[in-house]
Chain A
Amino acid sequence: MSTTTTRRVEPTGEVTEDAPRALKAAIGPSDRIFRGVSRSGGLAVLAIMSLIGIFLGYRAIQALREAGISFLTTEAWEPNGGDFGIAAVLTGTVLIALVAIGVAVPLAVGTALYISEYAPARIKQTLISMVDLMAAVPSVVYGLWGAFFLQWNILGLSRWISTWLGWIPFLSVDGADPRDPLATETVYTASTLIAGIVVAMMVTPIACSVMREVFAQAPAGEREGAYALGATKWGMIRSVVLPYGKGGMIGGTMLGLGRALGETIGVYMVISPVFEIQPRILESGSNSVSALIALRYGEASDFELSALMAAGLALFLMTLVVNFAASSIIARSRSGAVSDA
C-alpha cells in the first residue's frame, strides 16, 4: 500500500506525489476501558494456566530433586521411604487409555458414520443431541455402572479369553485355574479391561462428535461424483468420506485419548490399586496416575504431596502433548474442521 503512489497534475500545473494518508483512529475513553478490561480477561486466563504449570512444577521440585531420573523408572510408591516413581502408574494409565481407545474408536467411527450417512434425516438431530448429552453425563455415573454392573457381568468373557487366548502375553491371568470349578472369580474383577471399558463409555461420545462433524463436511460434489461412477454407498464412504475425514478421525481419537489419560473417578471406583507394572489386562489390579493422586492425597506428608505433584505434572504434560497433537491434526486435516469439545 505504501508504494502505490500516483502522480497527478494539480490545476496550477505543478506535479505532486500523492502519498497515502495516515489513518488515525481516535479511540474514546469508553473503548479504551473496554479494551483494557477484555485484555485483562485474556491475561487472567493466561495467568491461571501458567500458575497451574508453575505451581505444580514448583511443588514437584522437592520430590524430583530427591528422586532424580529414577522417578520415571521406579515401580513403587513409598515417598516417605524415598522409594517412589511413576513407572507402574504411568504404565497402568497408558494401558487403561489404550483399552479405552481400542473399544471407543470402532464404536465412535461406526456411530459417526451411521449418523452422518445412514440415519434417516428426521432422527439425525435427535441422535446428535443424544450423543452430546452422553458426553455430559457425569463420570461418577459411568463409574457406578462399571463397579456394580459391568464388573460382575464381564467375568465370563474375561475367563473365556484368558483360558483360550492366555498364550498371548497380555491376556494371561496369574492364579486362575480354568479346570477348577470352585475357583474364585475375583481374580478377574477390578482389572484394566473393566476400567478401560468404563473410560471408553466416557470418551466415545467426544470422539464420535468430532468424527461426525468432519464426515458431515465431506464435499457433496465428490460424493455425487462417486455415485455417478457407479459406487455403492459403502464404496462412496470408502473412497470419499473416510479419506476426507481421516484427519478428523485421528484428531478425535487423540482427543479421546487425552480424556482417557486424565480420567480419575471412573477408574478409581473400578480398579484395585497395585504399585508394580502389571501388563495383564484381564487380571485384577491396575492403577493410574490420577487414581494414585485421589487415593494418597489425604494422609500425605509434605514430601509425599510433592511427589504427588510431580506425578500430576507428568500426567498434565502427557495430556497436554496428546491434546495439542490432536488439535493440530484436526486443524491441518483437509476439512480444517472446527471442533468444540
Chain B
Amino acid sequence: MTAVDIRPADVGADDPSTGGTTLPPPVPPGSPEEPRRSLVLLRTSDIFALVGAFAASVSITFVLFTQLLPFEGAIGFVVLAYVLFLIVYALLVSLDDDGPAVRDKVAAVAVHGLALLLGVGLVFVVLYTLGRGAEALPNLNFYTEDMRVTGPLDPLTSGGILHGIVGTLIMITMALAITIPLGIVCAVFLNEIPGRLSRLVRTIAEAMTALPSIVAGLFIYATWITAFGLGQSGSAAALAITVMMLPIVIRASDVVLRLVPGTLKEAAYAVGAGQWRTVWHVTLPTARSGLMTSIILGTARGIGETSPVLLTAGFTAAVNTNPLEGPMVSLPLLTFELVKNPQPEMIARGFGTAATLMVLVLLLFAVGRAVGGRGPGQLTRRQQHRRVLASRRDAERFRRTDAARPRFTTQEEGQRR
C-alpha cells in the first residue's frame, strides 16, 4: 500500500481530537531552505576520540609502568593499556554525546578489541609454530629420513620425520576406510529410516562427540591390546582415531543429508524409483560436496589427535609400514615425543613436525572449503556454466535424434519444407 492520503476533506488535519494524522505546518514561501542533514555515521570527532584515547592510554600506562607501579611484562602492559583506553575513550565520547551513544561506542570498541585479541592470539599460535619450525623445515632430509641413526646431539642435517609422515598416512587411511562407509551409512540411516531407533542412534552419536580423546585411546588399549593381546600397532591407533572421527562425520553428514530438498526425493519416488535407488542416484549425489566436507572435517580432526595414538601405537624411531605389527608413530605423537628432549635440535625438529602437521591440516581444510561449503544444489559459476553447456548438448542431441527419426509429416509442414 502506498501512503496516499485519502482522508475526507472535512476532517481537520491539525485537530488531534478527531484522531487524524498531524501534518507539519506548511512551509511559508520565501523561507530559507532547510540544510541537508549529514547521514554519514563516522564523524571526525569519533576519530579524534579514538586516536586521543589510544595516545592517552599508552602514555599513562607507560608512566605507570616505568615510574609509579610495580608492574612488568608485555601482557600486563597490554591489559592495563586496554582497560585505560576504554575508560579514556568513554570520557572523551561523553564530552559530546549522551548516555546511550556513549554505551554504544564503548561496547563497539570493546567487541572489536575482543575479536582482535582472539584473532591475534590464534594467528600468533600458528605463526609461532611455523617460525620455530622454520629452522628444521628447509632441510630436505627432514622429509626423507627417519630417526633410526640420528642421536639427540646430531645437527638438523641428519634425521627426519619420514616415519611420522608414513605412520600418519597409514593410520588415517585405515581410519577413513572404516569411517567413510560406516559414517555415511549411519547418516543415511538417520535420515531415511526415521523412528525410535534412529532417534536413539542420533542421541548416541551426539554423545560420542563428547568422548574425551584419551578415553577413546583407553578403550582400544583395554580391548585390542590387553584383552585381545594384540600389542601396540598402527591398526590399534587407527581404530582409536576411527572412534574419534566417526561421530564428527556422522553429525556433519546428517546435517547435510537433511538439507537435500524433499521435492527431489519425491520426484524420484514419483517416477517409480525405490528407496535404495533414490538414495543412491538422488540423495547422495545431491549432497556430495557437503559429504566431502564432513569427511574432510573428520579427517582434519583425526589427523591431529595425539592422546589416542599415544596409548595405542607406541613409539618408534624407524619407518614401520606394517600396520598390523610393531609400534608406529604419527606426526602429533612425534611432535610430542621430540619436544620432550632437552636438546635444541630435537625441539626444533618437534616444531618442524608440528608445522608440517599444521600445513597438512590447513591444506585439507582448504580442499574441504573448495569442494564443499555450499548447500546441496548450489553451484559455483563454473559448475553452472558446465550445466548450461551440458544442457545445450542434450538439446542438440534431442534435435538430432528427432531429425533422424522417420516421421509422418503433416500437410503444412511438407509444404513449408
Contact = CB atoms under 8 A, between A and B. Distances in A.
Contacts of B154: none
Contacts of A316: 211-212, 215
B210 A137 contact: no
A319 B211 CA distance: 7
Contact of B354 (A107, A133, A140): A140
Interface in B273-316: 274-277, 279, 297, 300-301, 303-307, 310-311
B104 interface: yes
Interface stretch (B108-116, B381-389, B398-406): B108-116
Given A107-B118, A118-B108, A341-B209, A45 B201 contact: yes
A71 to B, nearest CB: 17
B100 A319 contact: no
Interface stretch (B21-29, B145-153, B192-200): B192-200
A303 interface: no
Contact of A340 (B72, B212, B255, B361): B255
A137 B101 contact: no
B221 interface: yes
Interface in A139-172: 139-145, 147-149, 153-157, 159-160, 163-164
Interface stretch (A9-17, A30-38, A218-226): A30-38
A106 interface: yes
Nearest to A114: B115
A308 B218 contact: yes
Interface stretch (A49-57, A74-82, A277-285): A49-57
B126 A157 contact: no
Contacts of A159: 72
A309 B181 CA distance: 30
Contacts of B279: 34
Interface string A236-276: 01000000000000000000001001111100110000000
A201 B76 contact: no
B395 interface: no
Contact of B112 (A118, A137, A268): A118
A111 interface: yes
A41 interface: yes
Contacts of A208: 118
Contact of A144 (B129, B369, B373): B129
A85 interface: no
B186 A41 contact: yes
Interface in B237-261: 243, 246, 248, 250-252, 255
The secondary structure that dominates the B interface is: helix
Nearest to B115: A114
Interface size class of A (residues with CB under 8 A): 35 or more
A138 B350 contact: no
Interface in B194-241: 197-198, 200-201, 204-216, 218-219, 221-223, 226
A118 B111 contact: yes
Contacts, number: 290
B117 to A, nearest CB: 7
A157 B75 contact: yes
Contacts of A264: 212-214, 306-307
A44 B252 CA distance: 18
Q: Name the residue in B132, B210, B250, B365 with the highest tally of chain A Cβ atoms < 10 Å from its Cβ.
A: B210
Contacts of A39: 189, 193, 197
A144 B76 contact: no
Nearest to A163: B70
A133 B211 contact: no
A19 interface: no
Contact of A138 (B100, B121, B303): B303
Nearest to B113: A110
Interface stretch (B9-17, B43-51, B52-60, B332-340): B332-340
B215 A201 contact: no
Contacts of A133: 362, 365
Contacts of B110: 110
Contacts of A327: 206
Contacts of A216: none
Contact of B274 (A31, A51, A52, A130): A31
B72 A160 contact: yes
A118 B304 CA distance: 33
A49 B275 contact: no
Q: Name the residue in A44, A261, A305, A308 with the highest tally of chain B Cβ atoms < 10 Å from its Cβ.
A: A44
11 contacts: A34-B279, A35-B193, A38-B186, A41-B189, A51-B219, A140-B304, A144-B339, A201-B121, A234-B108, A262-B211, A312-B215
Interface of A: 27-28, 30-31, 33-35, 37-39, 41-46, 48-52, 55-56, 59, 106-111, 113-115, 117-119, 129-130, 132-134, 136-145, 147-149, 153-157, 159-160, 163-164, 201, 204-205, 208, 231-235, 237, 258, 261-265, 268-269, 290, 293-294, 297, 302, 305, 308-309, 312, 315-316, 319-320, 322-324, 327, 338, 340-341
Top 6 A-B residue pairs of the complex, sorted by shortest distance between their CB atoms: A156-B73, A110-B114, A138-B304, A262-B212, A41-B185, A323-B210
Given A41-B186, A140-B332, 7 more contacts: A56-B218, A107-B121, A141-B357, A157-B76, A268-B307, A269-B336, A294-B214
Interface of B: 70-76, 79, 100-101, 103-104, 107-108, 110-115, 117-119, 121-122, 125-126, 128-129, 132, 181-182, 185-186, 188-190, 192-193, 197-198, 200-201, 204-216, 218-219, 221-223, 226, 243, 246, 248, 250-252, 255, 274-277, 279, 297, 300-301, 303-307, 310-311, 332, 335-336, 339, 347, 350-351, 354, 357-358, 361-362, 365, 369, 373
